[in-house]
Amino acid sequence: MDNFYYGTTTSLLTEIQKNGIQSPSKWGSYDYALSEAEKVSDQLGGDPVVIDMNTSDMSPDHILQEDNKDYFVYTETFYINLERKSRKIFENWNKFLKGV
């Protein structure tokens, strides 16, 4: 798998942009991340958001695969530089943060 996905909510996007995705964080398939995003948005409000990352952006030293789980745990705070990314999710994220 070249990409992994992280589920969150629009109500946390400003915090994530400012402080990164805090460790430990769970990453997995799109379906797994969407399920997690829906849980988080139910708890904290906002709309579900799935962030995708290429595996090359992650340090293998910080990936812990758990047996019989459909996700892995990333053990380092993951900072996302929105200005560098050209993926559609980040274009939409910037629009949300700017209130467009």
pLDDT in 10s for each residue of the chain, 100 residues: 688 899 999 999 889 888 989 999 999 999 999 999 999 999 999 999 998 888 788 888 888 887 767 888 888 888 876 454 445 555 556 666 676 5
Query: What's the distance, CA 4 to chain centroid?
Result: 9
Q: Domain locations in the chain? A: 3-95
Top CATH class of 3-95 equals: alpha beta
Question: What is the SS3 assignment for 84?
Answer: coil
Q: What's the pTM value of the predicted model, to 2 decimals? A: 0.75
Is the distance from CB of 33 to CB of 7 less than 8 angstroms?
yes
